[in-house]
Amino acid sequence: VIGKTVTTEFATFHPGPTVNPRSRGSDFTPGGSSSGSAAAVAAGMVPLAFGTQTAGSIIRPAAYCGVVGYKPTFGTLPAAGIKPLAPSLDTLGVLARKVDDAAWFVGLLARQPFADAVPGAGPLRIAVCGTPHWDRAQPASRTALAQAAAAFERAGAQVSDITLPAACEGLDAAQIAVMEYEAAAAFMPEAASHARDFSPAFAALLARGAGRDGHELYYALARAEAAHKVLEPVWQAVDVLLCPSTEGEAPAGLDATGDPIFNRMWSLLGNPCVHVPVGSGPRGMPVGVTVVGPQRADRLALAAGRLLEQSLAG
């Protein structure tokens, strides 16, 4: 252990003091909540660092800081010792310089051969997926997705386009419902004794969660289960999905950490996600893409991320 990195308030959205090391002359957010971990890796201070994700707290900082981010399948690594935010969503993962580093690190902790090649695999079947929020993708993110698809094709993968089933729409709202409801329960002791120390944003999140009832939680989790069922034919037809990681480059300023709109559904569904840096946008800040695999197919998602990384490097 080298040290403890800065995170946002209780791994939510109120920023810490961390700046984005990719900034040149002005401040851009490093994302959150794993802001310090992403910044430390991007600055070359450490080769890898732990991160957690409940909404987009690994993938988004990785994208904004231009490093690899790996959110494993939900439950791959134990959450013991981590202050719960939303136990149905909280996932321990890693930020790293290279996909192999992330695969070796998490594979070692999980005692799984995540860094090994996938045996007997033919050409990878990649489906380019804008997700239901494609209209939110800025030109830089759209360009990165196209460049990643072309890199996969150069590497010999079979690349196609896909539109997700209608049952996948609204999963971002379902993720918010689960996160807020469970956060209100998880922080009940702190709210009773230290509410005055909360930021207004975090206090508002807990208040929204306290105002939800169990039926909303049940409905949100049922939406996730329905999405898993309609995605089964998708995973039979393709190996991984290629999706945007963020709306675009890191937003300017340090008052917010960006929007996890492209990450929420995968956090709700628990799929393995690997962010791979692709290039930079018009302001010179990093942009990249997310490789999403079926649940418990982390080895496959990492193999696809490694192939993309190698193809982009030429």
Q: What's the pLDDT tens digit per position in 251-294?
A: 999 999 999 999 999 999 999 999 999 999 999 999 999 999 99
Is residue 185 one of the residues assigned to a domain? Answer: no
What is the pLDDT at residue 120?
Answer: 63
Q: Which residues pair with 96 in a beta bridge?
A: 48, 68
Is residue 186 one of the residues assigned to a domain? Answer: no
Rounded to a whole number, what is the distance in angstroms from the first to the last CA of the chain? 34
pLDDT tens, 42-91?
A: 999 999 999 999 999 999 999 999 999 999 999 999 999 999 999 999 99
Is residue 223 one of the residues assigned to a domain? Answer: yes
Q: Which residues pair with 53 in a beta bridge?
A: 91
Is residue 144 one of the residues assigned to a domain? Answer: yes
What is the pLDDT at residue 237?
Answer: 97
What is the pLDDT at residue 121?
Answer: 64
Is residue 4 one of the residues assigned to a domain? Answer: no
- How many domains is the chain partitioned into structurally? 1
pLDDT tens, 143-199?
A: 999 999 999 999 999 999 999 999 999 999 999 999 999 999 999 999 999 999 999
CATH number at residue 59: 3.90.1300.10
300 neighbors 118 (Cβ within 8 angstroms): yes
Rounded to whole angstroms, how far apart are CA atoms 288 and 193?
42
Cβ-based neighbours of 49, under 8 Å, separated by 6 or more: 5, 34, 36, 37, 38, 40, 41, 94, 95, 96
What is the pLDDT at residue 144?
Answer: 99
Helical (H) or strand (E) element with 176: helix 171-186
Rounded to whole angstroms, how far apart are CA atoms 221 and 228?
11
Is residue 107 one of the residues assigned to a domain? Answer: yes
Torsion of CA 265, 267, 268, 270, to 10 degrees: 120
* 3-state SS class at 274: strand
Is residue 2 one of the residues assigned to a domain? Answer: no
Range scoring the smallest mean pLDDT among 6-10, 11-15, 25-29, 104-108: 25-29
What is the pLDDT at residue 103?
Answer: 98
210 neighbors 187 (Cβ within 8 angstroms): no
Cβ-based neighbours of 274, under 8 Å, separated by 6 or more: 68, 69, 70, 71, 99, 102, 290, 291, 293, 301, 302, 304, 305
* CA angle, residues 243, 244, 248, in degrees to nearest 5: 175
The residue range of the domain holding 20 is: 9-165+218-313
* 3-state SS class at 92: strand
What is the pLDDT at residue 226?
Answer: 98
Residue 236 one-letter amino acid: Q
Is residue 213 one of the residues assigned to a domain? Answer: no
